[in-house]
Chain A
């Protein structure tokens, strides 16, 4: 490797570290992203143009066209995607990264096939190749399944004894990989079997995980792709890949644990637990909750809001699905003009990704200072006249405090039941994402405003305008 290329890789590595650091602070985040992108750009260009090998022109043409094709596709997807679809997109891109690592592993393994014993790759190189294929394959199919589940085209599927099957498959995968390394075999059949087993494991690993736990899984898969990139870095002794991959790997793990903490669950519980799938869960909680539900109209709700001093809006994923983030901002502005103090209460896992709700509200120009995090807003609920819950369910379910049998027991929630009045906008009485009944809806202080979030809020805004 030429010294210029080494220096370029060094600079790129530093931009990754600095960029990631800057991404963690609101003021510098945008510059941080740009910094890392520039570093990535020079690393890619350097790799192509500073190669010391004699490379035929045709290969340069192929690389160039691959970059142009992929670059255009990536750019178009990024520009067109709706902000509500962000979690799906991250997991789709992530799957592509994993597939890339997997393909690299395949090519490197195939180069070792039929080579004289003396020229064969060492066991450590084979180990990295096998690991790249396996981890890349798992993240590839795992991410595609996550993507399909998030955009609603696939439901949770639980095979009987899926935990046992998955664990056995995983142990088998590790043993199989170890066998290939120890036997120093170059059998392509074994390699393809390993590939197939990894792809299947990726599918089986994600398929039973409940919808509410998807953000954790995406973050975990993200982390795995980083590890796959780092492993290919070891394979080529390439520092920028190694450090870049490891940074993503460890950062992804931190985010994964932060999310688990926000839901009061352990990682193993997410992966091996049976939460979020409906079935048994809904049955256990369903019987105890009873009472009458009070329905309300848009005009009554408007009156209530109009004569309040303090209003807190609790947005949930239902708001995002209905694309109602702009209407809710209109409502908030209208109320503010009428002298009402309006704030938003943001649960750490509101939406389908941590921080997803902040992005959505930012998209509709909601003032940053009006978004209050859970720990800060909870003490304020007793002084709140009206809480307006839009499309949120599990994050305001009091069962998390007072029903030890509930699967969400112990999860930190927004204590909206302490407010004087509660208006809940929901499409129907169907349980939320986690499949649990919510006693909040039966509370004496609660009024249910049924309907699609966007329609209901638009009606509310019109009523308020006429007052």
Chain B
């Protein structure tokens, strides 16, 4: 219990941001037309690739002698960037299709 209280005290700011971000996320997506659900899902998927920032931090903070950490970090960066680049690129491709028939 003490640990929990300690955690709350130390991270109060973080918890505020967490809760507010949840509400922003819910509000942002409400009332999006069905047409856009697939691109939206794919775009959100690309955003979840933000985890790559953590993967880069892992590598930056690793001891160059710590091969395990470097190897795992390397794979994490590769997978994360596939998620980011692939996700944004494919969303763009999809949205391009919606656009061209307007002209």
Within 8 A of A (CB), among B31-65: 31-62, 64
> For window 80-100 of chain B, which residues contact chain A by CB distance below 8 Å?
80-100
- Write out the residue numbers on chain A whose beta carbons fall within 8 Å of the beta carbon of B74: 62, 66
Q: Which of A78, A111, A373 has the most CB of B within 10 A?
A: A78
Whole-angstrom distance between the Cβ of B67 and the nearest chain A Cβ? 11
Check A241–B51 contact: CB distance below 8 A: yes
The answer to whether A70 and B85 touch across the interface, beta carbons within 8 angstroms, is: yes
**What residue in chain B is nearest A72 (Cβ atoms)?**
B85
- Please tell me if the beta carbons of B75 and A240 are within 8 angstroms of each other in the complex: no
Asked if A246 and B21 make an inter-chain contact with CB atoms under 8 angstroms apart, the answer reads yes
Complex contact B3–A230 (CB within 8 A): no
Q: Flag if A29 contacts B95 (CB, 8 Å).
A: yes
Does A24 contact B40, Cβ atoms closer than 8 Å? yes
CB of B82 within 8 A of CB of A96, answer yes
Chain B residues whose C-beta falls within 8 Å of the C-beta of A236 in the assembled complex: 54, 57
* Cβ 8 A contact of B17, one of A243, A254, A346: A243
- Cα distance, A44 to B68, chains bound together (Å): 23
Does A104 contact B83, Cβ atoms closer than 8 Å?
A: no
Q: Is the CB of B25 within 8 A of A249?
A: yes
Q: Which of under 10, 10 to 19, 20 to 34, or 35 or more describes the interface residues of A?
A: 35 or more
Contact with B along A17-46 (1 / 0, CB 8 A): 101110111100110111011001001100
Give min CB distance, B72 to chain A, whole Å: 5
A59 within 8 A of B: yes
Q: B69 at interface (Cβ–Cβ under 8 A)?
A: yes
Closest CB of chain A to B88's CB: distance in Å?
A: 4
CA–CA, A225 and B87, complex, Å: 13
- Identify which of A56, A222, A363, A373 contacts B44 (C-beta below 8 A): A222
Contact with B along A239-254 (1 / 0, CB 8 A): 1111111111111111
A56-B64, A225-B48, A359-B38 in contact; A79/B92 too (CB < 8 A)? no
- Chain B residues near A20 (CB-CB < 8 A): 25, 28-29, 43-44, 47
Per the 8 Å Cβ criterion, residues 247-264 of A in contact with B are 247-255, 258
Contact of A74 among B25, B84, B94, B96 (CB under 8 A): B84
Closest to A87 in B: B38
Q: How far is the CA of A237 from the CA of B11 in the complex (A)?
A: 9
When chains A and B are docked, how far (Å) is the Cα of A365 from the Cα of B82?
A: 29
Closest chain A CB from B92 CB (angstroms): 6
Is the beta-carbon distance between B95 and A354 smaller than 8 angstroms?
no
Q: Which of A26, A77, A250 contacts B22 (CB 8 A)?
A: A250
Contact partners of B77 in chain A: CB under 8 A: 63, 66-67, 70, 100
What is the interface of chain B mostly: helix, strand, loop, or mixed?
helix
Does the CB pair A75–B86 fall under 8 Å? yes
Q: Which of these, A24, A74, A348, contacts B29 with CB under 8 Å?
A: A24
For residue A225, which residues in chain B have a CB less than 8 angstroms away from its CB?
45, 48, 51
- Contact check, B55 vs A23: say whether CB atoms are below 8 A apart: no
The winner among A40, A48, A58, A108 for most chain B CB atoms within 10 A is A40
| CB proximity of A215 to chain B, nearest CB, Å | 9
Interface: B12 (CB within 8 A): no
Q: Given B55, B60, B84, B91, which contacts A59 in the complex, CB threshold below 8 Å? A: B60
Point out the residues of chain A lying under 8 angstroms from B98, CB to CB: 26, 29-30, 358-359, 362, 368
Judge whether B22 and A246 touch: CB under 8 Å.
yes
A40–B88 CB distance below 8 A: yes
Bound CA span A294–B40, Å: 41
For B41, list chain A residues within 8 Å (CB): 90, 218-219, 222, 252, 255, 353-354
Known A-B contacts A69-B78, A81-B90, A238-B57; A355 and B49 likewise in contact (beta carbons under 8 Å) = no
Q: Is the CB of A86 within 8 A of B94?
A: yes
| Chain A hits for B33, CB < 8 A | 26
Contact B94 A83 (CB under 8 A): yes
Q: Which of B48, B74, B81, B102 has the most CB of A within 10 A?
A: B48
Contact indicator B34/A255 (Cβ below 8 Å): no
Choose from B17, B24, B43, B58 the contact partner of A17 (Cβ within 8 Å).
B24
Listed by A's residue number, 11 A-B pairs whose Cβ atoms lie within 8 Å are A23-B43, A32-B43, A66-B77, A70-B81, A73-B86, A93-B82, A97-B45, A222-B48, A246-B25, A355-B39, A371-B35
Closest 8 CB pairs of A and B: A250-B25, A74-B86, A70-B81, A355-B37, A78-B89, A74-B85, A244-B50, A66-B77
Residue ranges of A at the interface with B (Cβ–Cβ < 8 Å):
16-17, 19-21, 23-26, 29-30, 32-34, 36-37, 40, 43-44, 47-48, 51, 53, 55-56, 58-59, 62-63, 66-67, 69-71, 73-75, 77-79, 81, 83, 86, 89-90, 93-94, 96-97, 99-101, 103-104, 106-108, 110-111, 122-124, 218-219, 222, 225-226, 228-230, 232-255, 258, 346, 348, 353-356, 358-359, 362-363, 365-368, 371, 373
